[in-house]
Amino acid sequence: MKNFSKLPGWAKIASGGGAAALLGLLGFNGWWSGEIAPVAAADAPEVQFEVPSGTSTNAVGKKLVEQKIIKSEMAWKLWTSVFSRQNGGPKMGSYQLSAGKPLPDIAAKLWSGRVTEVNFTIPEGSNIKRMNELLTKKFFPCVKVPNTKKVKATDGTLPTEVCSDAPVSAELTQKGFFPKDAFLKAAQNIPRDKFPWLPEGIKDLEGFLFPNTYSIPKEGITPDKVVTQMLKQFEKDALPVYKAEGAKSKLSLLQWVSLSSVVEKEAVIPKERNQIAGVFINRLSKGIKLESDPTVEYAFGIKQTPTRPLFFSEVRKPHPYNTYTTPGIPPGPIASPGLGSLKAVLNPDTTEMLFFVAKYDGTHVFSRTNAEHEKATREIRAGVKKAVNPPT
């Protein structure tokens, strides 16, 4: 006996009524089973399928047939005429569909709203400028045009083509793209109505956009939605830590995130976070300036390397964020710290160390006195010079 369970509700007719009716039903069931069967093999790759806002159910079916994802518009209409009565219409969005699935499975996915999600990762220690670079690469549609303005690449080369600066169309925005540098602008807004815990007086969201790997529905994604999800992640992961342990540190929320961001930029190896935090807490308690290189880099937009250390003129140039010239914790974060650095500042090592210097292998040499620190610095720089210019 044929299995009638695959038929729509209206097609499940009682078996009584004579041989002719039964043969008719069996014939219809055979047609139906063939029309809703997969177009391709079960391992057929998924393809992107868009359901724009306001698209009718029949128009979706026609498009599915045109893209060879289902076989029959008629079968689609028959199936959805019943399915829509109970579940409404297909949800707008971008989907990944396979022609290796039967029509009912494809319809169920479109009705479920399980749209395609886009993933992106914000590494720990990223500042807003770096986040904007990462998200622009991910969400800005690069249309190549001749490099008539002679714009140099980040590595200093002069490419023949660059991405067009033309505005992103409404159609591309609907598909999950947004304008270049739009995230940078969104991060300047302080949505205190949604997140009342955000500190007063901050000029942007530096430090509070939590570093993580995110999955966001591609359809209709905007910089504001990205910012909102990142703030929610901070609220979920970081804020409870501060509420549970922040009181013992006597640091405000802004001071906590600001100092943690400096620890994040200094600590390459996780096991050194608490030790570096301990040095900074120790210096603060003794009224000694933090003298952290990453704060100079952030203040003046520069990047030191083993062969290009900070110049004395840069270190001594006054700036609110330059902790060589300005005492105390910077007025705001210099990056987004991860949970490890946030916890380290609330649980610093108890130490006599007051100095540390990077060895450029990820580790640091810690010292009690300035004399020890200067000796370690000279030895490290001598080693770098020897490595760059080996004896002949």
Taking alpha carbons only, the member of 139, 125, 348, 346 closest to residue 223 is 139
Helix (H) or strand (E) holding 217: strand 213-217
Q: How far apart are CA 126 and CA 131, in angstroms?
A: 6
132-173 pLDDT, tens digit each: 988 888 777 566 678 887 777 766 788 887 666 655 555 555
The contacts of residue 196 (CB under 8 Å, 6+ apart) are none
Q: How far apart are CA 199 and CA 187, in angstroms?
A: 15
Q: What are the φ and ψ backbone dihedral angles of 353, each rounded to 5 degrees?
A: -70, 140
Residue 259: burial class (beta carbons within 10 Å; 0-12, 13-18, 19+): buried
Asked whether 120 and 211 are in contact (CB, 8 A), the reply is: no
For residue 127, which amino acid is it?
N
Q: What are the φ and ψ backbone dihedral angles of 295, each rounded to 5 degrees?
A: -70, -30
Sequence spans of domains, the chain: 1-34, 36-115, 124-237, 249-388
> Quick one: pLDDT at residue 10?
41
Residue 276: burial class (beta carbons within 10 Å; 0-12, 13-18, 19+): buried
Vertex 322 angle, CA 124 and 210, to 5°: 20
β-pairing verdict for 46-51 and 93-98: antiparallel
Range 100-138 burial, b when 16+ CB lie within 10 A, else e: bbbbeebbebbbeeebbebebebebbbbbeebbeebbeb
Q: How far apart are CA 326 and CA 284, in angstroms?
A: 12
> Quick one: pLDDT at residue 2?
35
Q: How far apart are CA 128 and CA 205, in angstroms?
A: 8
SS3 190: coil
Q: According to the CATH classification, is domain 36-115 in 3.90.950.10? A: no
352-386 pLDDT, tens digit each: 999 999 887 889 999 999 999 999 988 887 776 66
Asked whether 365 and 376 are in contact (CB, 8 A), the reply is: yes
DSSP letter (8 states) at residue 118: E
CA distances 337 to 166, 245, 358, Å, are: 34, 17, 19
**How many CA within 13 A on the CB side of residue 117?**
9
> Quick one: pLDDT at residue 8?
47
Q: What is the dihedral of CA 150, 153, 159, 161, to 10 degrees?
A: -80
Token pair listed for 47: 């393809």
Residue 238: burial class (beta carbons within 10 Å; 0-12, 13-18, 19+): buried
> Quick one: pLDDT at residue 149?
78
Residues of the chain with pLDDT under 50: 1-18, 22
Taking alpha carbons only, the member of 241, 214, 209, 215 closest to residue 228 is 209
